[in-house]
Amino acid sequence: MDSTKSIMIDISSDVLDQENLDKLVALNNDHALTIINKFVSLCKPSKVTVITDSKEDLDYVKNKSIELKEETPLKLKGHTIHFDSIYDLARDVSSTKVLVSKGEYASPWINTIDREEGLEEILKYMDGCMEGKECLIQFFCLGPTGSKFTICALQITDSFYVVHSENILYRQGYETFKNLNGSADFFSFIHSAGELTGDPPVTKDISKRRIYIDLKESTVLSVNNTYAGNSVGLKKLALRLAIYRSNNENWLAEHYFIMGIHPEGKKRKSSSFFAGAYPSACGKTSTAMITGQTIVGDDIAYVRAWKDGYAHIANIEQGIFGIIQDVNQKDDPVIFDALTTPRETIYSNVLIVDGTPYWLGDKRPAPQKGINFSGEWFPGKKDEKGEEIKYAHPNARYTINLRELKNLDPTLDEPEGVPLRGIFYGGRDSDTMVPVLESLNWDEGVFFGAIIESETTTATIGQTGVRKPNPMANLDFMVVPLGKYIANHSKFGNSLKNPPKVYAMNYFLKNPEGKYLNGMLDKKMWIIWAEGRTYSEYKAIKTPIGYIPLYKDLKALFQQYLNKDYTEKEYVEQFSIRTKHLLDKMDRIEQFYKKEQETPEFFWKILNRWRVELKKLKEKHGKEIISPLELV
């Protein structure tokens, strides 16, 4: 090799040929070359291929994934199936750890390992992990290209499936990477499936699966897995790196969908953009995909302060890696149509019958045979533990570009993002919070997000009805102290001239007999009301915990959108203030946050104010449940 080109790269020309070396040198980035040199030398692949933004390179990835049987073509053009190991079908929480230095504080819910110990362990597992395999090096953009939101990302992996998935989910960034001008300001992801076995090939040694997050180096190391939640570094692993960065730079990296709300009969200059964070099974996707509205993103967003005094938000992705269970033609017509017509789509861990994918809850006749992650499948098939194997996995997924959806908002690639008018924080709560509640101010809105709880359901192992705190629906991805994260939210919003309005949402309120008080479509009224509130079109009732709608406004909305007579009885049942349950919630929240050393003072002030005023309300009315009609 030319010595001027190999200063930073000490890789044999048998592994890295001149064409691919030239692609790396063209980056003019010594930091990137140092990382590549280190991990290629450690992982020892037999070949290194650099993937640029060209169609030729992207097609190479797709075709090679099929050739290596990491994916298999299905009946419809563009559709492929990927199977993970039967032991590698979900995020591995126990093996996903943040590297921390000795003496460094971490909140108790952050899974950590001593940095030196963790690096020694995982680098040992990665030594030679790519032997006999081809290593792919590719570059991506998190966020719209050429914008303030953009964070560049370097991916090194031996999985063509991983890179194919990322090419659907993220914007290509080879050319953008050149514009870094040698800067080390990018995220790095190094992944290997490790030794493979079987047909199709899956990771052999799952016991050595590790996913370690190195915040100091903005790097994630992942080995011995193929499930995308563990291997596609740019998704939730990148979110963790972004949370760390944003909380040290006064912006937000959040587990948000972004939607455009379009009220009927209202002339707006543009879409009204809202974000939303909901724990799993709390209505996140159904809200983002409400009929008549548009979607900008379904999962992860960055939020920054902008010169116009508003928060601006951008989807850092361009695709969906979505749970496919229960997606059906009636409830999810847009997604179902996209999944059942020819277009580039990767299915994972569903059942394949004669080239057609089937998944749980698709409302088609249950198949009686096929191929799934366990091999040949038939009804009653059992695993090693004697447990019945369903024909598809509950965590089965689909990977698709957002541009394949008919309801995509045209602002997806807007370099400045979109102005954020409001934020929804949802939870699953059968007896406490009203369906929609507007915060009194920004800090109270942060409090809404900080006190999200989600009740366990029959789909969760263990006791049902147990409330689990999940601040901002982001607890699983927290890498900074929770108190610092909450304080950063307060600082960010209070720095804005026009902070977003914030709403607590709850679609799961029940009566004493256990019947849901909200219909499946009612959530549309809540979001339309919230959107109108940001334009001061509706008055509201002030309560100790926030603003609730007036009956006459909701009655009109139900008539307009559902042609339904919304009764005063329904309104009273849904929007009564349940003081005892709210006070019980404050007790639970207090116990949770007492575990955090750095909970900010404003949080405790709000919690104590709620307590005092709810007790006063209860004493004033002489009862635990107060009708909204008594508060007008």
Please give the structure tokens belonging to residue 67: 């050739």
Q: In terms of DSSP H, where are the helices of 44-114?
A: 55-67
CA distances from 283 to 199, 289, 514 (A): 37, 10, 19
Active site residue 282: yes
What letter would DSSP give residue 8?
Answer: S
Query: Cα(124)–Cα(424) distance, rounded to whole angstroms?
Result: 44
Query: Cα(105)–Cα(576) distance, rounded to whole angstroms?
Result: 42
CB 123 within 8 A of CB 42: yes
Of 34, 45, 37, 29, nearest to 11 by C-alpha is 37
**Angle, to 10 degrees, between the axis of helix 601-621 and the axis of helix 579-593?**
160
> How large is the C-alpha radius of gyration of the chain?
25
CA distances from 501 to 287, 291, 311, 583, 604 (A): 17, 23, 11, 24, 21
Question: Which uninterrupted H or E stretch holds 288?
Answer: helix 284-288
Residue 245 burial (CB count, 10 A):
18
Query: Cα(102)–Cα(91) distance, rounded to whole angstroms?
Result: 27
Which residue in 43, 141, 152, 282 is the catalytic one? 282
Residue 413 burial (CB count, 10 A):
16
Of 75, 74, 68, 71, nearest to 49 by C-alpha is 68
CB 216 within 8 A of CB 116: no
Neighbouring residues of 78: CB distance < 8 A, sequence distance ≥ 6: 342, 343, 344, 345
Q: Is 630 exposed, middle or buried (0-12, 13-18, 19+ CB in 10 A)?
A: middle
Query: Cα(188)–Cα(216) distance, rounded to whole angstroms?
Result: 12
Residue 469 burial (CB count, 10 A):
19
Question: Which uninterrupted H or E stretch holds 213?
Answer: strand 210-214
Of 158, 167, 233, nearest to 201 by C-alpha is 158
**Angle, to 10 degrees, between the axis of helix 551-562 and the axis of helix 568-575?**
120
Please give the structure tokens belonging to residue 590: 């207090």
Query: Cα(195)–Cα(238) distance, rounded to whole angstroms?
Result: 25
Question: What residues are annotated to the active site?
Answer: 282
